[in-house]
Structure 1
Amino acid sequence: MSSIRILNLEDNEFTDSVVSSPFTSLTSLEFLSTSGNHFDIPSSLGPLANHSRLKVLILDDTKLTIDTKVASLIPRFQLMVLSMSNSPSRGFELTSLGFLKHQYDLRILDLSLNYISGPFPAWLLENNTKLEKLFMANNLFTTLEVPSMTLFNLSELDISNNNMRGELTTEFCANVPNMSYLNLSANRLEGNIPPELGSIKSLYVLDLSSNNFLGGLPIQLLDSKLGHLNVAYNKLQGEIVLSDHTMNPHLSRLRLDHNLFTGSLFFLSSLVDLWVLDVSNNNFTGKLPRLITNMSLLLALDLSKNQLDGLIPQEICYLGDLEYFDLSDNNLSGPLPFFISKSMLHIHLNRNKLNGTLVHALSNSYGLVTLDLSENEFSGRIPYWLGNFSQLSILSLKGNSFYGTFPEQLCKLKSLSMIDLSENNLFGPLPSCLGPMDLSKDYTDKVISSTTEMGDVIIGWSPWSYVRTIKSHPESFHIKMKEEFQAPHTVGFTMKGRFDSYKGYALLKMVGLDFSCNQFSGEIPPEIAILQEMLTLNLSHNKLTGRIPMSLSSLTKIESIDLSYNNLIVFNVSYNNLSGAIPHKNQFGTFIENNYYGYHLLCGLTLSKKCSTTINVNCLATKSCATTKEDGFIDEETFYISFGVSYTMVGLVIPVVLFINPQWRYGWFHYVELVITTCQSLFITCYYFVQDGFRKLSRGQTF
């Protein structure tokens, strides 16, 4: 075993302390991977210090223990590849980089998902001038410090999600001339985005999202060889105007969302090879440019939450590969064009001014998972062909002018998780065919995990290539960085009387039905209770009659039921052991005799049996003559008890507070003394005033 040069134990269930394991004697090792096990390894890597041939060390998802030898230990190895990234579930807590002080030959270093704090370690880059890839995302770095030397070999850098402060300077851009992948997202970087980033000719992926960058978007970034540009969630502003000769055939993903950009979208005419375009949550104005239709590769288009107006161009609907389409929260008007794309999965057109009938506008979109047309001005009947969309999970037609009866074809939709037909003009009976529907069947992957993948950016490296004797497994190990467009799937729904937006995990768990604010009549079909996964049911503001079906009590997961503003019988106490006079105040006066079946000891205005005397019937039935006060608003005994307890507590709290706080005690005594002095003065004044008055009266004088 002492001659072993390559040892890979990755993803097993081994448990051992490396100090006492055979690892210490395997000094010929060049490659060692213990990732995904339960080994206990000192953070100084002391047990491996004598492994002078070790070049590749993979310790991902491994438990490290604190070692006091970190500062003094000088290992004999010079690593080329070191990976110690970890998942939070492992409880890994690498907090110091001291064990790297003596490493000068690193090419690939991955220390992401740890608890390393302090300024970004620029010294690590300066010590390892051959470093090619550095991944230190999800740590606790405080400030961004720029290396003072040019790093010609560094091509990939990910220090995202560290909450770092500072500015991205031109010096930084000059020192990484061969950078191809740069991810600084989810920090607190500020200032302007340096235009010099566009001068890095090899830069292909740039992610500056979720920072505090100000100013405009440097045009140089759109006129470079960038393939992926993400500046979402910043404070960028102004218009984006490109020159006539600007053309970027490489840019495939562009995210400008959640900023303060203004002006038109005409600049998109130069970016015809986009796969993903998200400019939502800005202040763009004007009409939708027809030039978007030149983006034949477009898979995801999100222009929501802007101030766009006019018609939806028919040409957009000819984008045959389009899967995600969101124009919600704009001022778009006119009819809905005929959609040709059969690959469409998610359509969000809610909160616009679209009108007309649907007719056959979406009849070819058989793969739809989400259809949100809520809060527009659509009219006509709900189209029957919606029942052909077997994958439909979310259907929201809320706040339109649809009329007619509920189309029974919708009962074919077995994958629905949310259906909202509220605030329309629908009438007729509620559908009893909803019973067989399974509102939660197979919608998890389609609604939440549905991700538009536009290929993978492989940031590949092969640790095997650093072990010269092994050349038969060039792709055994690699780092795969996926660039995906996560469809937001934000859907509004009313629950517990409050309209909220649901997304992510909340949307995953949201299962509901809302038919409120229509003209539905008749009884509530008991079959509706078969929808066992339902969390919310809203049938309010209709013309429903009859009794509330007992079957609703079987909805064990229900959190909200709203049946208000109908003509339902919501009170029935038939066949119990009640006796006495029936109350006639408030809502009790509206109930009829059918609500009191099976009672021989009740009497009152609602029943044919009147109460002939003022003697309480309950007294006669129970042989008790105790006086009752059936209409009393407050229980007198409870009132007196609570009154006495309250004043007793006040009497006890005041002395305790005055005892604890001397300043308040002195203030209180001063106040009491002042009141007593004032009262004494008033009493003396009143006394002499009255005495003088009687004296004058006795003498016959007037005041």
Structure 2
Amino acid sequence: MSSIRILNLEDNEFTDSVVSSPLTSLTSLEFLSISGNHFDIPSSLGPLTNHSRLKVLILDDTKLTIDTKVASLIPRLQLKVLSMSNSPSRGFKLTSLGFLNHQHDLRILDLSSNDILGPFLAWLLENNTKLEELFMANNLFTTLEVPSMTLFNLSTMDLSNNNMRGKLTTEFWANVPNLSYLNLSANGLEGNIPSELGSVKSLDILDLSSNNFSGGLPIQLLDSKLDILSVAYNNLQGEIVLSNHTMNPSLSLLRLEHNLFNGSLSFLSSLFDLEILDVSNNIFIGKLPRLIANMSSLVTLDLSKNQLDGLIPQELCNLDELEYLDLSDNNLSGPLPSFFISRWMRHIHLSRNKLNGTLVHAPSNSSNLVTLDLSENEFSGSIPYWLGNLSQLSILSLKGNSFYGTFPEQLCKLKRLSMIDLSENNLFGPLPNCLGPMNLSTNYYDKVTSTQEFFTVIGWSPWTYVRRSHPTLFYKQKIEELDAPHTVGFTTKRRFDSYKGYALLKMVGLDLSCNQFSGEIPPKIAILQEMLVLNLSHNKLTGRIPMSLSSLTKIESIDLSYNNLIGSIPEELTQLNSLEVFNVSYNDLSGTIPNKNQFGAFDESSYYGNHLLCGLPLSKKCSTIINVNYSTTKSCAIAKQDGFIDKQTFYISFGVSYTTVGLVIPIVLFINPQWRQGWFHHVELVITTCQSLFITCY
């Protein structure tokens, strides 16, 4: 096999050292890939030093060992493609760069994820003036060194997620005039973003996110030929004002989130070809521009966490391609426009605004909707029937509104629901038995995947540099992810948390707290086997705690506090080994508190207000119980203030006190003549004094 030219062994389980392998004798090799195995290869590449024909060497996820014996050898090979990237799971790192001193003809170099220390390797660029693509993300560079010569061939550069400090200089851009892709995200670069970046005519993709840049956004960037621009997570500020002739029809992605930009959104009128727009977490003010309706290609729109006000314009409903809409945490008011759910909409976040009115308008075609979050607004009326037609709905949050009526049984038709939050409304009546057959599903990937994800695929084929190419055999892709993970808030374990990614995928919960639900807890609720959170607190539920809750083997939090439940705490609940929070305070429960397994870790706050409960962790022994009739009715809002006396108790005490005083004084005066004489003398003196004052003033 000495004449073999192409050898691809990647992603197997080969072991042993390359030094003792037959690879050392295959001097006709032009292409060699041994990535994803368990080979040991010296960092000097000594065993391959005589492979003068070798042009492409792929050593991704390969263990490189320190080799001092042949470190001084000058290899005969001159590579054109070298890839030595590593994944964190393998743990392999590049231990020496000495052999790169002798490489002068590289076109593609990938040294990603190697924890290389020190300044950026500017000397490597100076040694390889023909370099076209450079990937050095996820290392430990400290500064961004400027190459001393012009690199006309360099088109792709990824230096993201390093520790580089300092500023971007004009000299840097002058020496890379044909750059089309630049990723400097997740570093510590500071100062202003150079306006000269806008003059690099070849630049298509620019990612400067997650740095410490300050100042304003150079208008030249929005007036360039950029296709993707991300400056998110910086300290940029000021108003974005475009001139009348500014227009960038090629910009498809614009991310400005987590900065300090202010002013209006009028600058968007020139960016009508956008597909993804995220300007969340800024200080933008004013009304939503109706010109957004002209962005017919818009797929993702995130304007959350600003200071926008006014109505949601009807024109927004004309965006047929829109899949992700987030207008939460603003000051928007008024009713929702009719048919506000467009055909392809998957995620709607309108929480924490001042929206009001009823939800009477049924969407015409919204079978793709996965998330509907209208929480903490001022909506009223009954929960609409058409929610039962949203067959893909997985997350429903109507928390903190003024919805009234009974539990909408149409929700039981939704077999993909995994998170339901109807808390802090005015719902009443019994909980339906249909809660049991509901499939609070997990592993529903659509509730995690958001159209916020935007992948930039940079592909390169090493076969270009091999004498007889076979492009279908090997095509390596570098995938850059520009995403803002889909996030949903939910109350669990006594706190409000944000869930995203894998945590959101596994989150299954039901929160009906702070309403007026009555009747017994349906035993069939325990059929929801995947449930992690059950919150029925601050209602008017009666009856006993169902023993069937013991079948919720994955449950982590159960809150049944502030109801009118009676009876004992079922001993079977001690089988819930995943239970971390259990709260049955302020009910009419009685008997001995279970103290096995997880229940031994719950403190007395889990059982406050149940005067017939006894045993640890309470100080009350079961032999000294006094029969006390204690009312557990208490409003959700007052309970959240952690007060000791509710309004009803306060008014009753106030009235009884004044009635008692009014009765005691006449009785005492009737019994004791001396006190009675002194009392009337005092009253006469007060009347005389008042008359004198009145005459004097007159």
Tell me the TM-score normalised to structure 1 length. 0.80
Cα distance in 1 for partners of 2:242, 2:586 equals 74
Task: Give the aligned partner of residue 516 of structure 1.
Answer: 513
Cα distance in 1 for partners of 2:539, 2:458 equals 58
Task: Give the aligned partner of residue 326 of structure 2.
Answer: 326
- Counterpart check, 1:507 vs 2:504: yes
Query: Secondary structure at the residue paired with 2:102?
Result: coil
Cα distance in 2 for partners of 1:420, 1:96 equals 55
Aligned residue identity for 2:384: P
Kindly provide the CA deviation profile for residues 638-668 of structure 1, in whole angstroms up to 9, marking residues without a partner as x.
xxxxxxxxxxxxxxxxxxxxxxxxxxxxxxx
Please show how residues 507-586 of structure 1 align to structure 2 within 5 Å: 507-571=504-568
Task: Give the aligned partner of residue 463 of structure 1.
Answer: 462
Cα distance in 1 for partners of 2:585, 2:390 equals 48
- Counterpart check, 1:300 vs 2:297: no
Task: Give the aligned partner of residue 273 of structure 1.
Answer: 273
Deviation at 1:497, TM superposition (A): 1.9
Please show how residues 381-530 of structure 1 align to structure 2 within 5 Å: 381-443=382-444, 445-451=445-451, 457-468=456-467, 470-471=468-469, 473-482=470-479, 486-530=483-527
Aligned residue identity for 2:365: N
Query: Secondary structure at the residue paired with 1:125?
Result: helix
Task: Give the aligned partner of residue 674 of structure 2.
Answer: none
Task: Give the aligned partner of residue 12 of structure 2.
Answer: 12
Aligned residue identity for 1:36: G
Cα distance in 2 for partners of 1:340, 1:421 equals 20
Query: Secondary structure at the residue paired with 2:189?
Result: strand
Cα distance in 1 for partners of 2:481, 2:410 equals 35
CA contact (8 A) 2:265 2:289 kept: yes
Please show how residues 78-227 of structure 1 align to structure 2 within 5 Å: 78-227=78-227
Kindly provide the CA deviation profile for residues 533-558 of structure 1, in whole angstroms up to 9, marking residues without a partner as x.
11111101111000010011221211
Aligned residue identity for 2:524: E
- Counterpart check, 1:231 vs 2:231: yes
Deviation at 1:521, TM superposition (A): 0.4
Count residues in correspondence: 585
CA contact (8 A) 1:462 1:475 kept: no
Cα distance in 1 for partners of 2:117, 2:481 equals 29
Cα distance in 1 for partners of 2:438, 2:158 equals 47
Aligned residue identity for 1:389: L
Kindly provide the CA deviation profile for residues 24-55 of structure 1, in whole angstroms up to 9, marking residues without a partner as x.
00011111111222222111111101101111
Cα distance in 2 for partners of 1:438, 1:421 equals 17
CA, structure 1 residues 66+361, in 2 after alignment: closer, same or farther (shift >3 Å)? Answer: farther
CA, structure 1 residues 566+70, in 2 after alignment: closer, same or farther (shift >3 Å)? Answer: farther
Cα distance in 2 for partners of 1:589, 1:276 equals 49
Deviation at 1:499, TM superposition (A): 1.6
Cα distance in 2 for partners of 1:69, 1:463 equals 31
Aligned residue identity for 1:278: D
Aligned residue identity for 2:202: S
Cα distance in 2 for partners of 1:43, 1:572 equals 66
CA, structure 1 residues 97+189, in 2 after alignment: closer, same or farther (shift >3 Å)? Answer: same
Cα distance in 2 for partners of 1:460, 1:330 equals 41
Task: Give the aligned partner of residue 260 of structure 1.
Answer: 260
Greater radius of gyration (CA):
1
Deviation at 1:458, TM superposition (A): 4.2
Please show how residues 350-361 of structure 1 align to structure 2 within 5 Å: 350-361=351-362
Aligned residue identity for 2:76: R
Kindly provide the CA deviation profile for residues 37-86 of structure 1, in whole angstroms up to 9, marking residues without a partner as x.
22221111111011011111011121222222464121110000001111
CA contact (8 A) 1:453 1:483 kept: no
Aligned residue identity for 2:131: L
Query: Secondary structure at the residue paired with 2:267?
Result: helix
Residue range with higher mean Cα deviation, 10-19 or 150-159: 10-19
Query: Secondary structure at the residue paired with 2:460?
Result: coil
Task: Give the aligned partner of residue 21 of structure 2.
Answer: 21
Aligned residue identity for 1:529: A
Aligned residue identity for 1:302: D
CA, structure 1 residues 257+572, in 2 after alignment: closer, same or farther (shift >3 Å)? Answer: closer
Deviation at 1:494, TM superposition (A): 1.2
Task: Give the aligned partner of residue 46 of structure 1.
Answer: 46
CA, structure 1 residues 328+76, in 2 after alignment: closer, same or farther (shift >3 Å)? Answer: same
CA contact (8 A) 2:65 2:95 kept: no
Cα distance in 2 for partners of 1:139, 1:629 equals 64
Cα distance in 1 for partners of 2:193, 2:50 equals 46
Cα distance in 2 for partners of 1:108, 1:413 equals 51
Kindly provide the CA deviation profile for residues 480-533 of structure 1, in whole angstroms up to 9, marking residues without a partner as x.
344656353221111122122222232222211100010100000001111111
CA, structure 1 residues 30+296, in 2 after alignment: closer, same or farther (shift >3 Å)? Answer: same
Deviation at 1:440, TM superposition (A): 2.5
CA contact (8 A) 1:79 1:103 kept: yes
Residue range with higher mean Cα deviation, 476-485 or 528-537: 476-485
Query: Secondary structure at the residue paired with 2:220?
Result: helix
Cα distance in 2 for partners of 1:306, 1:345 equals 22
CA, structure 1 residues 573+150, in 2 after alignment: closer, same or farther (shift >3 Å)? Answer: closer
CA RMSD across the alignment: 2.3
Deviation at 1:10, TM superposition (A): 1.9
CA, structure 1 residues 534+250, in 2 after alignment: closer, same or farther (shift >3 Å)? Answer: same
Aligned residue identity for 2:239: E
Deviation at 1:95, TM superposition (A): 3.4
Aligned residue identity for 1:435: G
Kindly provide the CA deviation profile for residues 561-580 of structure 1, in whole angstroms up to 9, marking residues without a partner as x.
11111100153799xxxxxx
Cα distance in 2 for partners of 1:255, 1:153 equals 28
CA, structure 1 residues 281+111, in 2 after alignment: closer, same or farther (shift >3 Å)? Answer: same
CA, structure 1 residues 129+118, in 2 after alignment: closer, same or farther (shift >3 Å)? Answer: same
CA contact (8 A) 2:449 2:486 kept: no
Kindly provide the CA deviation profile for residues 324-347 of structure 1, in whole angstroms up to 9, marking residues without a partner as x.
000000000011112252100000
CA contact (8 A) 1:249 1:271 kept: yes
Cα distance in 1 for partners of 2:28, 2:623 equals 93
Deviation at 1:16, TM superposition (A): 2.7
Query: Secondary structure at the residue paired with 1:241?
Result: coil
CA, structure 1 residues 421+567, in 2 after alignment: closer, same or farther (shift >3 Å)? Answer: same
CA contact (8 A) 1:138 1:162 kept: yes
Cα distance in 2 for partners of 1:562, 1:114 equals 48
Deviation at 1:416, TM superposition (A): 1.3
Task: Give the aligned partner of residue 341 of structure 1.
Answer: 342
Query: Secondary structure at the residue paired with 1:552?
Result: helix
Cα distance in 2 for partners of 1:379, 1:334 equals 12
Cα distance in 2 for partners of 1:265, 1:361 equals 30
CA contact (8 A) 2:180 2:203 kept: yes
Deviation at 1:630, TM superposition (A): 5.2
Query: Secondary structure at the residue paired with 1:150?
Result: coil
CA, structure 1 residues 373+156, in 2 after alignment: closer, same or farther (shift >3 Å)? Answer: same
Q: Which runs of 5+ in 1 are unaligned?
A: 575-586, 597-627, 633-703
Query: Secondary structure at the residue paired with 2:39?
Result: strand
Task: Give the aligned partner of residue 62 of structure 2.
Answer: 62
Query: Secondary structure at the residue paired with 1:171?
Result: helix
Cα distance in 1 for partners of 2:456, 2:622 equals 79
CA contact (8 A) 2:450 2:485 kept: no
